[in-house]
Amino acid sequence: MDNTNVLVTAMAEKCRELIRDWSGPPIDLPEPLEPEHLIWMCEIIEKNADEWPATKLHRWIGFVQCAMIANRMLDLSDAKAMFNNAKIAHSESSEDELDHLDPANVFELDIGGEG
């Protein structure tokens, strides 16, 4: 398992813990956003981390964190802190993954097909 997959797996474990421990009021949201489904998604992420490409892992953990925000289990600052804590704990040293979190860091996206 590469370091990216380790990082996403650590975030899935943390999300699962937070969802299980959450005692807030239920919010009327679609089934895919309900806590039970999110716990299942975290377990699937952990189970498949070795086989899935990093892009799929990132999509899944992103969905889980967005659903947690929708359920008011955490806010954007909490999600960023979760990523930073997992990164520190698992010695992720790449700055490439942090660029999108820094509003002062402008970057260009090369989509190809240009002149």
Q: What is the pLDDT of residues 73-84, one digit of tens each?
A: 999 888 888 888
The total of other beta-carbon atoms located within 10 Å of residue 16's CB is: 19
What angle, rounded to 10 degrees, do the helices at 3-21 and 76-89 form? 130
Residues in the chain: 115
Distance CA 79, CA 101 (A): 11
Q: What is the pLDDT of residues 6-34, one digit of tens each?
A: 889 999 999 999 999 999 888 899 999 99
Entry pTM: 0.74
CA distances from 82 to 26, 62, 74 (A): 23, 12, 10
Chain centroid offset of residue 14 CA: 10
